[in-house]
């Protein structure tokens, strides 16, 4: 979707990027703490490993949003940023 938006909007100086979050325990998710612990243990075996070996935090996603909204990412556009703690490595 980001790439399609860029084709049409880049001439106006706009950027479009996508953030793909990994498993993040939040109030909106109704897993119990035991279920989250079970999920955290399963991920390394299912996906070939999570480099951080922990579930993400809402702040991890907020940091990615802040980066993409800042001048530091002025030349970054049309990407899908995986904020997964290395979940898709290996």
Q: What is the pLDDT of residue 45?
A: 47
What's the rounded mean pLDDT across residues 28-47? 66
Give the whole-angstrom CA distance, residue 38 versus residue 5.
38
pLDDT tens by residue, 55-71: 788 999 999 999 999 99
pTM of the model: 0.72
Ordered by where they begin, the domains of the chain are 2-83 (3.40.50.720)
Cα angle, residue 88 at apex, residues 23 and 57 outer, rounded to 5°: 25
Rg, C-alpha atoms of the chain: 16
Tell me which H or E stretch contains 20.
Answer: strand 18-21
């Amino acid at each position: 979707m980001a790439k399609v938006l860029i084709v049409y909007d880049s001439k106006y100086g706009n950027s479009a990027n996508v953030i793909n979050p990994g498993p993040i325990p939040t109030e909106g998710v109704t897993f119990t703490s035991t279920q989250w612990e079970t999920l955290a243990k399963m991920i390394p075996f299912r996906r070939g490993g999570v480099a951080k070996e922990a579930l993400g935090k809402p702040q991890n996603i907020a940091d990615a949003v802040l980066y993409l909204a800042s001048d530091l990412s002025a030349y970054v556009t049309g990407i899908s940023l995986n904020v997964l703690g290395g979940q898709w490595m290996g």
